[in-house]
Structure 1
Amino acid sequence: MRAARPEDAPALAALHALAFPPAEAWGPDAMRLMLEMPGAFGVWCQAEGLVLARAAAGEAEILTLAVAPAARRRGLGAALLGAAMQGAVLRGAAEMFLEVAAANEAALALYAAAGFDGVGRRRRYYANGEDALVLRRSLSPS
């Protein structure tokens, strides 16, 4: 795993397109813009997976987490999520939020195993009309 940089945007976009339906995949410009935002950071494994997040004012948010189909079910999603949480703590965040498709059982299981709890629902959030669940996890040691 290594830090994602704005110049990685084309490779990150290609990887994102493998993991998401075409209507939800981010292009190179979106990847670059996300990584150039204040507080943004990312980690990726070339051709396998990526996570982009941002931290501000004591909170962090997962912007996207993508694992290529050929790399799934091997623990990479959990490793990327862990890297994002560590990066958020290093940037002063005490809690992390994310949105996930309500029907994405694999992602919901990943986030539940990492200690995320549901705190909200965004109706018809995705382009296909699917709801998103808003999840939260404390990053404070317990």
Structure 2
Amino acid sequence: MRPELVTLEPLVRAHVPAVLAIEKELFGREAWSRWMVQSELDEGHHYRAAMSGGELVGYAGLAVVDDTEAWVQNIAVRAESQGHGIGRLLLEDLLAAAGDRTVGLEVATDNPAQRLYARYGFEIVGVRKRYYQPSGKDALVMLRGRP
């Protein structure tokens, strides 16, 4: 799949079943629940759907805290669609929405997406021990554009 065949659109409640399927595929027991996904949408955070052929192949979300700070909530791309630049497109959309804010995120210490984040200027600033539950995996805290 070529990224030029993917379009980004606002993530809406109609996408939630597909989001939950991707969550389960990628994150197993640590997948977000329906309530978690819907509450993110209800809060009005910036969530985008990556669509290809009318199908949700990925999604991403950004929570804007204030005029100076925003946090990437999630970037997820179906396993079969990974490696084609979709995660990059989603990240670029979130960064554009963040503007000149400092952007933070947490990423599992074994997640290869760390390389993508580093290419976009994110730096490791800390570790959250046993952040992911129930696995107990640690998370790296990464920031971009910090003062």
TM-score by length of 1: 0.86
**Deviating 4+ runs (over 4 angstroms):** none
- Conserved 8 A contact 1:3-1:44: yes
CA RMSD of aligned residues (A): 1.8
Q: Percent identity between the aligned chains?
A: 31
Matched pairs, number: 134
1:107 aligned onto 2:113 = yes
Distance in structure 1 (CA, Å) of the matches to 2:144 and 2:20: 27
Return the offset for 1:15: 2.2
Distance in structure 2 (CA, Å) of the matches to 1:132 and 1:111: 14
1:78 aligned onto 2:88 = yes
Partner SS, residue 118 of structure 1 = strand
Return the offset for 1:139: 8.3
Distance in structure 2 (CA, Å) of the matches to 1:139 and 1:122: 19
Distance in structure 2 (CA, Å) of the matches to 1:6 and 1:33: 10
Q: What residue in structure 2 maps to residue 54 of structure 1?
A: 63
- Conserved 8 A contact 1:124-1:132: yes
Distance in structure 2 (CA, Å) of the matches to 1:126 and 1:53: 19
Change (3 A) 1:76 1:121: same
Partner SS, residue 47 of structure 1 = strand
Q: What residue in structure 2 maps to residue 41 of structure 1?
A: 46
Distance in structure 2 (CA, Å) of the matches to 1:47 and 1:6: 13
Structure 2 runs not aligned, ≥5 long = 1-7
Return the offset for 1:108: 0.8
- Conserved 8 A contact 2:16-2:34: yes
Distance in structure 1 (CA, Å) of the matches to 2:38 and 2:80: 25
Partner SS, residue 33 of structure 1 = helix
- Conserved 8 A contact 1:9-1:29: no
TM-score by length of 2: 0.83
- Conserved 8 A contact 2:9-2:49: yes
